[in-house]
Chain A
Amino acid sequence: QVQLQESGPGLVKPSQTLSLTCTVSGGSISGGRDYWSWIRQPAGKGLEWIGRIYTSGSTNYSPSLKSRVTISVDTSKNQFSLKLSSLTAADTAVYYCARVRCNTTSCYSGFDPWGQGTLVTVSS
């Protein structure tokens, strides 16, 4: 079955840009109506959706993060990536990647599967 794995630096300095990659295994990232998403969770807090991408390159971002987020996809590597700029301590969180199935207007499945998550700390 499809599995996801996040990778990237665990420590990033304030004002810098975070770059994370999610590698999809056990299936093609280009399959059907699969969209690929990033979600984050600060310690002790709730889940925040960051954005999603389709393999065509079409993206949707959370309005609260839109100005700082870029999600891209590399179908040749079966990977998609997150860049988050102008980091502050408030961006310290566990970052997850996940799959969701959507049509052109709405997503009809939940997020499944998820990666195990990677902790990113923003600190000098």
Chain B
Amino acid sequence: DIQMTQSPSSLSASVGDRVTITCRASQTINNYLNWYQQKPGKAPKLLISAASSLQSGVPSRFSGSGSGTDFTLTISSLQPEDFATYYCQQTYSSLNFGPGTKVDIK
């Protein structure tokens, strides 16, 4: 089984901050890595697929990078609506998620 880890597990940031979340796979997953945003009481929303492909309608301040085992989600300038929990997911083998990173207001 491929295990996914995320760091940090939580972070506090201010509007306008640049935020970086890291996701690591226990073995190579090429670029089969997706990022989701989830707000309380809502279903997750797909932000980025294939490590770096921004989904239609997702603001360009979100970007993803990485390949192999190490991946990054970056929010270039945090907006009020970006406070949420972010999950990575590998779809190379099985379809499991990372444990999540909660982004809250400093």
Beta-carbon contact of B43 and A100 below 8 Å: no
Beta-carbon contact of A49 and B36 below 8 Å: no
Closest to B92 in A: A106
Main secondary structure of the interface of A (DSSP, over half): loop
Q: How far is the CA of A115 from the CA of B44 in the complex (A)?
A: 10
Whether B69 sits at the interface, judged by CB under 8 Å, is no
Q: How far is the CA of A24 from the CA of B100 in the complex (A)?
A: 28
- On whether A49 and B95 interact (CB within 8 A), knowing A107-B32, A110-B89, the answer reads yes
Whether B1 sits at the interface, judged by CB under 8 Å, is yes
Whether A121 sits at the interface, judged by CB under 8 Å, is no
Whether B63 sits at the interface, judged by CB under 8 Å, is no
Tell me, rounded to whole Å, the shortest Cβ–Cβ distance linking B101 to chain A.
10
> How many of chain B's residues have a CB under 8 angstroms from any CB in A?
26
Main secondary structure of the interface of B (DSSP, over half): loop
Whether A27 sits at the interface, judged by CB under 8 Å, is no
Q: How many A residues touch the partner, as a band?
A: 20 to 34
**A114 neighbours in B (Cβ, 8 Å):** 43-45
Q: How far is the CA of A90 from the CA of B98 in the complex (A)?
A: 19
**A52 neighbours in B (Cβ, 8 Å):** 95
Whether A56 sits at the interface, judged by CB under 8 Å, is no
Q: How far is the CA of A62 from the CA of B32 in the complex (A)?
A: 17
Known: A96-B43, A110-B89, A112-B46. 11 other contacts (CB 8 A): A37-B95, A47-B89, A49-B96, A98-B43, A106-B93, A107-B32, A108-B32, A108-B49, A109-B49, A112-B55, A115-B43
